[in-house]
Amino acid sequence: MYLQFNSKADFVKWAQENILTPQEVTEILHCSPQAIRQSVQNGKLQPLKKHERTTLFLREDVERRGEELQELREKYRPYDTPGPK
């Protein structure tokens, strides 16, 4: 998929919605910063850009990892998932 933008403002809006910091990733995935680093080291989550102390992630990749984590949580930690009332 290749993106085309009609203006700089369109690109900026897209970037603000789709490029995430590690802090935003921890909020979305409900995990610790260490878990994010481990996911990167294990190749489970690919950073969009990594430079010294800054790492950026693509929302699409983070959401895919979130789905994987949810499946693992349901499988190995069923007591953490909400059950019927």
Which CATH number do you get for residue 49? 1.10.1660
Does any domain span residue 9? no
Give the list of residues 6+ apart from residue 65 with CB closer than 8 angstroms, or none.
29, 39, 44, 45
Task: Report the pLDDT value the prediction gives residue 20, as an integer from 0 to 100.
Answer: 97
Does any domain span residue 56? yes
Task: Report the pLDDT value the prediction gives residue 8, as an integer from 0 to 100.
Answer: 95
Residues in the chain: 85
Would you place residue 10 in the very low, low, confident or very high pLDDT band (cuts 50, 70, 90)? very high
Q: For 22-80, write each residue's pLDDT tens digit.
A: 999 999 999 999 999 999 999 999 999 998 888 999 999 999 999 998 898 888 887 76
Taking a C-beta distance cutoff of 8 angstroms, is the pair 25, 36 a contact? yes
Please report the DSSP string for 4-39 in residue order. Answer: --SSHHHHHHHHHHHEE-HHHHHHHHT--HHHHHHH
What is the DSSP code (8-state) at residue 56? E
Number of domains in the chain: 1
Which residues span the domain enclosing 31? Answer: 15-79
Does any domain span residue 2? no
Task: Report the pLDDT value the prediction gives residue 58, as an integer from 0 to 100.
Answer: 96
